[in-house]
Structure 1
Amino acid sequence: MIAALSLAACSPGPATQSAQKGASAPMMDDPYLWLEEVEGERALEQVKAWNASTAAELTADADFEAYRQRGEAILSNPDRIATPYHIMGDMVSNFWTDTKNTHGLWRVATIDDYLAGTPAWRTLLDLDALSEAENKNWVWGSVTCLAPEYDRCLIRMSDGGSDAGVLREFDVSRAAFVEDGFVVGEAKHDFTWVDADTILISSDFGPGTLTQSGYGRQVKMWKRGQTLADAPLIKEIAVEDVGFGVSYGRTRAKNYPLITRNMTFWDYEYFHVRPDGSLVKVPMPQTATVSEMFAGKGIIQLNAPWGAYPAGSLLAYDLDALIERGEFGVEPVFTPTKAQSVRQIAAGKDRLYLAMLQDVSGKLLALDADWRASEVPVPDNSVVDLEAAGGTADIAFFTAQNFATPPTLFATQMGAEPAAIASLDNLFDPATVEVKQHFATSKDGTRIPYFVVRPKGATGPLPTVLHVYGGFRGGQLPTYLARHPSRIGPMAMFWVEAGNSFVLANIRGGDEYGPEWHSQVLKENRQKVHDDLYAVGEDLKASGLSSTLAASGRSNGGLVVGAAYTQRPDLFDGIIMGVPLSDMWRYDKLLAGASWTGEYGDPDIPEEWAYLGKYSPYQHLRADADYPPIMIYTSTKDDRVHPGHARKMAARMTEQGHKVYYFENIDGGHIGAADAAGEAYRAALMMIYAKDTLTTAE
């Protein structure tokens, strides 16, 4: 799979809104700008006071400690599947954490041993030992290894879990960092290999080298032995662009370095890199992506119609013809139906694998080099995730799971049925729950699917937690209830076990029905996301499924439920607002916010603030409103969505006299927790909040 630009961030110092905004925008006096100082002494004192108040109320519940302990046991269970991280020739790598290895182990085993269920793991990097030796809180980021030998790798890791991290070169044979290798200090890097002595890197190279979004606006070709300052510049973009992504694909025994220019979050240009550093642009629509390389071809995924090809289609072009001769033409690879969505694409040695959804149920296809498709058998009514593909043999690993069935890892090879490699024990009896898919009708007539998980045999309305996301093509999938349904962790299982209902809604903004499920709700059409949520909530109550109802969401989903808090307090009895955006007036000035104007719009443009301002939660809080109790959680180390959003929301609500539970984890990045213990603590807080809020409100 070809890596895309990850969301990273850099923080400007707080400034007055009058200095930041044009005169055409409303001049709102914000007394809480000081809470945008992430590590400011006054801000952190306030955070600690809020944390202490929340802990005093919620941890005092007799059930809190049991939930916390059980959650930590689940999330750090050493019996978890050792899921393949990468295939490296005849080896498979894995990143592993447990109660002993809280920071994690990066390790490898042979594919043959792995397939036999007897992997003899060799540890390459012990992050716990490294953290202790260097007095850091190292959190794993990513690794890129150079094919076909896979003896040298570039590792990204961060101190505390932020998006910014360090780059270090690693020698696999010696299981050690390379002295005098490719090393860069903390920044928002993107990097990849060109050859054994050359890498491409986009980073913070000093003043003037970052975009407004905080990403690097330059790509350099850095050769071994050079200083980074002396590395030649091969591409530079405007400061108004989002940033760069760099990656490489491998097909037919050749590596193809690739640069992605992200002009907006959803508009791109792709450039192949020749050995001399010259670039060849891929002449395709700016909304399309180069998603994989297979059989000597680049695989294009369309996110909007292009000529006769509908949105969602896969096309192919000849790599060498374009790079060496400037010749470009496309051929069709696969066209999904209206009910389908291609979620993942991964190239094996001889087959191209497509992990798909059909009415939010998983399918897996394998295509040969002539684009003939065969369906790989997978369990019914499951979510299918491609974990790794490739290697010296044609092989792909995938997991299948659903709300009531824990993940099972399968291996698929040409000419053979998929083989189950490992599966998790059920953490609850699947016969005790029932799962049904329902459809609500949104305000504009669109059918919105949602899943309801209830105790088996339950009748009548139940207290309900309704979880949503609604943006950035982030589909919400019915994965195993006990672990990470949309990152609220085991709280979902605790909630259903206690006799309640958990609902996952596939509101627009995700990719459940292809790219148009997302494009329908961009910018000025954003209110449709909120209308979808309200349609599901109203359907739950009208159908007699829900008694009391809380809306839950994190990140963009936190923004969605924050808007619900101010727009429809009559519909909801509680709100769980995680790592949220809330101030859409200033979001583009905080951390990575400027990169999301393609999703939301630009508040500096009066016409765009006109619709942003209609739902921005922070601006719509009212002292005289009858709001339900709300729980807000975030992380100090989140350098993607600024914690100031959560802090300012809590401060204004508290000032107005509304009930707020607030929790800010000092570590953890955008995920909101740095380890299993932190995630379990937060899950227990959410469980007690929901129990107290929804069962009391019945």
Structure 2
Amino acid sequence: MIRSSAAALAALLASSSLSAVAMAQTAPSASAAPAPAPASSGFATSEATDPYIWLEDVEGARAMEWVREHNEKSLGVLQGDPRYEPLHQEALAIVQAKDRIPGVGFNRDGTLSNFWQDADHVRGVWRQTTVDSFRTDAPQWDTILDIDALAAAEDANWVYKGVNCLAPEERRCLVSLSNGGKDATTLREFDAVERAFVEGGIVLPESKGGAAWIDRDTLLISRDFGPGTLTDSGYPMTVRLLKRGQAPEQAPVIFTGQPTDVAVSGYTLRDADGAVKAVLINRSVDFYSSETWRPKDDGSLVQLALPAKSEINGLIDGRLVVSLKQDWTAPSGQAFQTGDLIAWPLDAWLADPATPAQLVLRPTERQSVEGVNATRHTLVVALYDNVRGSVRVYRPGQTEWTHTTLDLPQNVSVGVGSASETDDRVFVSVTGYLNPSSLWLADAATGDVEQIKSMPAKFDATGMTVDQHEARSADGTMIPYFVVHKADMPLDGSNPTLLYGYGGFESSLLPGYSATVGKLWLERGGVYVIANTRGGGEFGPRWHEAALQQNRQRAHEDFQAVALDLIARDITSQPHLGIMGGSQGGLFMGVMLTQRPDLINAAVIQVPLFDMLRFHKLLAGASWIGEYGDPDIPEQRAWIERYSPYQNLRAGQPYPEVFIHTSTKDDRVHPGHARKAAARLEELGYPVLFYENTDGGHAAGANLQETARRIALEYTYLSRRLMDTPAQE
């Protein structure tokens, strides 16, 4: 699938979604409190009034000494709890298990590739097998590149970040390697047949950005070339055409964006045989608006006639498929709606933008398109209705597209995986909160489906069930949420309950099997709740747009409404209710802490945004102005300041002891957000547990051991706060 850079950036920011089965029920009304007025103290409204600005010096001596002191204290408390080590061992067994389903991708020669990590391959191994071997219980894997061996040989902290191979041969590849898990990567040319890096081959030094093959000797590159070549967001502002043998800085610039852009990047649009049909450049004007440009043979550029909020999904039988994120009238005069999938005959459309488009799919108000991929002749779509998934197969016709629905399990989450470009096979994943993940191989041409892998249960779900309820938000909107629990739980407010939320960037929280949630929380009597608030994409682009910028408070009120509804239903009560979220979800947790601390007794705040008056000045923060607004514009600053957690922390509030964690190597969401949050809370007299992984990047885990440790720390903290009765301050 081809993705716009805006979509790719949204995926980067989004935290891992833990997601359930759906049966709509009407819930009692629950209104969230209005947002408080901005803090009047003037605290941290400028660099001069922020006493903790020095904590933004990522690896500065003073800041790192502060980190070490807090790590020592927090690890002493949490690892000293007798529950920590059993939880750690359970987490370690889960994340290092070898009976997980390998995520595989089709290669053009019919083999399958996979990247795998376990106890023996902590950093991971890139490997391949055949489809027939993959069907067996013990596939025979052929190692292509061992990252553990590479890191040891080069004495480097390599973290694998993906590979991009040149079609159709797929022999020459660019391997992305990150130092410690940062988003910035080094790209190195690799020969997948010889299983070795190409001597004298292409090497692009560490940078954010990417590269795309045009042919064996030509690439489009978007990298950091020094002052004046990055946007304010810290992403590449230029696209260059690199010829083999050139130094990257010698490659001629073929496109330059603006400093205020999020990023620019180049890519190729290829047909099912791997032939280049168009060379394209994406200019992300903001996180959701972009332009697509096509370089012509004479060096000039032409902008494609696409709406600012749209995404190119693929090319099927010569037809370009695009999803729309806004209402749009095409040059042909046709009117399309937000959420529509449309298609043009590519060659005719490139020659004449007024060429009529065909409508492929128009979702209803409670539907959303959650995944699109193309086989050789079909378009495969994951379509959700009230957060329940199905997979449709669309085929182009002369006047309209027809579709069928694959015969897959119902009331679960489905995901469209890798699709073959040489035939119409496609992998589909199926999962639910209590349904261990399974992998199906479908023939989109015939509709045949075959379950070829299923994951064994990782926790005892006997007697557990999943409910879907709705909470009434402050403006009357009904917000769906899922509750995973033991069927015989008492409705007396005594249940330790973890409420998870994200609420931004059109990222949907869909049903999904989490072995760690099940083993470390549900099995031990905990209740797990997922809030499908506005700001996400559960009901398409409009559900997201309802909480954008000046309307951000709606998402916060939605989350608060779910908490209130849980308490109203006597599922839990304040002493037993905790919240968790990361990245944008960490901001969500910070707002809940500052606006409704009376509802909660625990908060796990993961790699958070927190100082929203400075988010746009830190690392990739400027790229998110499209989501939150611009703090440098007074009108927009006013609505941001109303909820920015850092400025709204106050003395004398019923804040529980919180657990905040981040990573020194996070070069997306600045660790200064988490550090300053902890420092301010301590200054105001509140107990805080803070932990910073000195590796790991935004995913907070450079390797599986660190991932297991982080998970065990989180559930030890939650056990202390929500399962000990009463929780002591």
1:685 to 713, 720, 725: 713
Query: Is 1:211 the counterpart of 2:231 in the alignment?
Result: yes
C-alpha distance after superposition, 1:77-99 (max 9, x if no partner): 01111211343331211001110
Give the corresponding residue for 2:543: 517
Could you tell me whether the CA contact under 8 Å between 2:3 and 2:312 is conserved in 1? no
In the TM superposition, residue 653 of structure 1 has moved relative to its aligned partner by 0.5
Give the corresponding residue for 1:463: 496
The SS at the match of 2:642 is: coil
The SS at the match of 2:497 is: strand
1:426 to 457, 471, 476: 457
Query: Is 1:380 the counterpart of 2:407 in the alignment?
Result: no
Aligned partners of 2:307, 2:422: CA distance in 1, in Å? 34
C-alpha distance after superposition, 1:42-62 (max 9, x if no partner): 111111111111111111111
2:670 to 642, 646, 650: 642
Aligned partners of 2:138, 2:76: CA distance in 1, in Å? 47
In the TM superposition, residue 622 of structure 1 has moved relative to its aligned partner by 1.0
Aligned partners of 2:423, 2:138: CA distance in 1, in Å? 19
Specify every segment of 5 or more residues in structure 2 that has no aligned partner in the other structure, as ranges: 14-44, 330-334
Query: Is 1:500 the counterpart of 2:530 in the alignment?
Result: no
In the TM superposition, residue 325 of structure 1 has moved relative to its aligned partner by 6.1
1:330-369 paired onto structure 2 within 5 Å: 330-369=357-396
Could you tell me whether the CA contact under 8 Å between 1:90 and 1:391 is conserved in 2? no
CA separation of 1:416 and 1:335: change in aligned 2, threshold 3 A = closer
Aligned partners of 2:47, 2:116: CA distance in 1, in Å? 50
2:307 to 278, 285, 288: 285
CA separation of 1:397 and 1:273: change in aligned 2, threshold 3 A = farther
In the TM superposition, residue 285 of structure 1 has moved relative to its aligned partner by 1.1
Give the corresponding residue for 2:649: 621
* Amino acid of the structure 1 residue aligned with 2:508: G
Give the corresponding residue for 1:259: 281
CA separation of 1:73 and 1:543: change in aligned 2, threshold 3 A = same
1:392-407 paired onto structure 2 within 5 Å: 392-407=422-437
Could you tell me whether the CA contact under 8 Å between 1:87 and 1:388 is conserved in 2? no
* Amino acid of the structure 2 residue aligned with 1:467: Y
C-alpha distance after superposition, 1:61-84 (max 9, x if no partner): 112101101101101101111211
CA separation of 1:329 and 1:178: change in aligned 2, threshold 3 A = farther
C-alpha distance after superposition, 1:580-620 (max 9, x if no partner): 00001111000000010000000001100100000000001
TM-score (norm 1): 0.94
Aligned partners of 2:201, 2:354: CA distance in 1, in Å? 37
The SS at the match of 2:674 is: helix
CA separation of 1:4 and 1:96: change in aligned 2, threshold 3 A = farther
Aligned partners of 1:347, 1:538: CA distance in 2, in Å? 43
Query: Is 1:299 the counterpart of 2:330 in the alignment?
Result: no
Could you tell me whether the CA contact under 8 Å between 1:3 and 1:246 is conserved in 2? no
The SS at the match of 1:212 is: coil
Higher relative contact order (CA 8 A, sep 6+): 2
TM-score (norm 2): 0.90
* Amino acid of the structure 2 residue aligned with 1:481: S
CA separation of 1:631 and 1:380: change in aligned 2, threshold 3 A = same
Query: Is 1:390 the counterpart of 2:420 in the alignment?
Result: yes
Query: Is 1:83 the counterpart of 2:103 in the alignment?
Result: yes
* Amino acid of the structure 2 residue aligned with 1:408: S
Could you tell me whether the CA contact under 8 Å between 1:190 and 1:244 is conserved in 2? no
Aligned partners of 2:302, 2:126: CA distance in 1, in Å? 36
Query: Is 1:601 the counterpart of 2:629 in the alignment?
Result: yes
Deviates more, 1:573-582 or 1:244-253: 244-253
Aligned partners of 2:47, 2:70: CA distance in 1, in Å? 29
Aligned partners of 1:80, 1:412: CA distance in 2, in Å? 20
Aligned partners of 2:199, 2:285: CA distance in 1, in Å? 36
Could you tell me whether the CA contact under 8 Å between 2:324 and 2:338 is conserved in 1? yes
Give the corresponding residue for 2:204: 184
Aligned partners of 1:435, 1:271: CA distance in 2, in Å? 47
In the TM superposition, residue 444 of structure 1 has moved relative to its aligned partner by 0.9
CA separation of 1:691 and 1:249: change in aligned 2, threshold 3 A = same
Give the corresponding residue for 1:481: 514
* Amino acid of the structure 2 residue aligned with 1:654: E
1:432-443 paired onto structure 2 within 5 Å: 432-443=463-474
Could you tell me whether the CA contact under 8 Å between 2:47 and 2:53 is conserved in 1? no
Aligned partners of 1:334, 1:155: CA distance in 2, in Å? 36
In the TM superposition, residue 392 of structure 1 has moved relative to its aligned partner by 2.0
Specify every segment of 5 or more residues in structure 1 that has no aligned partner in the other structure, as ranges: 10-24, 483-489
1:630 to 632, 644, 658: 658
Aligned partners of 1:218, 1:276: CA distance in 2, in Å? 19
CA separation of 1:491 and 1:116: change in aligned 2, threshold 3 A = closer
Query: Is 1:415 the counterpart of 2:451 in the alignment?
Result: no
Aligned partners of 1:297, 1:61: CA distance in 2, in Å? 59
Aligned partners of 1:27, 1:197: CA distance in 2, in Å? 48
Deviates more, 1:458-467 or 1:509-518: 458-467
The SS at the match of 1:670 is: helix
Aligned partners of 2:3, 2:184: CA distance in 1, in Å? 17
CA separation of 1:3 and 1:38: change in aligned 2, threshold 3 A = same
Deviates more, 1:80-89 or 1:43-52: 80-89
Give the corresponding residue for 2:116: 96
Give the corresponding residue for 1:12: none
Aligned partners of 1:80, 1:628: CA distance in 2, in Å? 37
Aligned partners of 2:593, 2:367: CA distance in 1, in Å? 33
* Amino acid of the structure 2 residue aligned with 1:582: F
In the TM superposition, residue 352 of structure 1 has moved relative to its aligned partner by 0.8
2:164 to 132, 144, 166: 144
1:156 to 176, 186, 195: 176
CA separation of 1:195 and 1:324: change in aligned 2, threshold 3 A = farther
The SS at the match of 2:467 is: strand
In the TM superposition, residue 318 of structure 1 has moved relative to its aligned partner by 2.3
2:72 to 28, 33, 52: 52
The SS at the match of 2:643 is: coil
Give the corresponding residue for 2:27: none
Could you tell me whether the CA contact under 8 Å between 1:464 and 1:550 is conserved in 2? yes
Aligned partners of 1:116, 1:237: CA distance in 2, in Å? 50
Deviates more, 1:234-243 or 1:269-278: 269-278
Aligned partners of 1:323, 1:130: CA distance in 2, in Å? 45
1:540 to 566, 581, 595: 566
Aligned partners of 2:439, 2:296: CA distance in 1, in Å? 38
In the TM superposition, residue 252 of structure 1 has moved relative to its aligned partner by 4.7
CA separation of 1:241 and 1:56: change in aligned 2, threshold 3 A = same
* Amino acid of the structure 2 residue aligned with 1:155: V
The SS at the match of 2:93 is: helix
Aligned partners of 1:222, 1:327: CA distance in 2, in Å? 34
Give the corresponding residue for 2:578: 550
CA separation of 1:277 and 1:76: change in aligned 2, threshold 3 A = farther
Give the corresponding residue for 1:528: 554
Could you tell me whether the CA contact under 8 Å between 2:416 and 2:427 is conserved in 1? yes
Aligned partners of 1:635, 1:275: CA distance in 2, in Å? 45
1:164-203 paired onto structure 2 within 5 Å: 164-203=184-223
In the TM superposition, residue 276 of structure 1 has moved relative to its aligned partner by 6.3
Aligned partners of 2:704, 2:272: CA distance in 1, in Å? 41
1:297-336 paired onto structure 2 within 5 Å: 297-307=319-329, 308-323=335-350, 328-336=355-363
Aligned partners of 1:230, 1:28: CA distance in 2, in Å? 42
Could you tell me whether the CA contact under 8 Å between 1:192 and 1:247 is conserved in 2? yes
Deviates more, 1:286-295 or 1:270-279: 270-279
Query: Is 1:38 the counterpart of 2:58 in the alignment?
Result: yes
Could you tell me whether the CA contact under 8 Å between 2:658 and 2:689 is conserved in 1? yes
* Amino acid of the structure 2 residue aligned with 1:264: D
Could you tell me whether the CA contact under 8 Å between 1:124 and 1:172 is conserved in 2? yes
Give the corresponding residue for 1:487: none
Query: Percent identity at matched positions?
Result: 42
The SS at the match of 1:533 is: helix
C-alpha distance after superposition, 1:134-162 (max 9, x if no partner): 11111111211122111111221101000
* Amino acid of the structure 1 residue aligned with 2:340: S
Could you tell me whether the CA contact under 8 Å between 1:153 and 1:171 is conserved in 2? yes
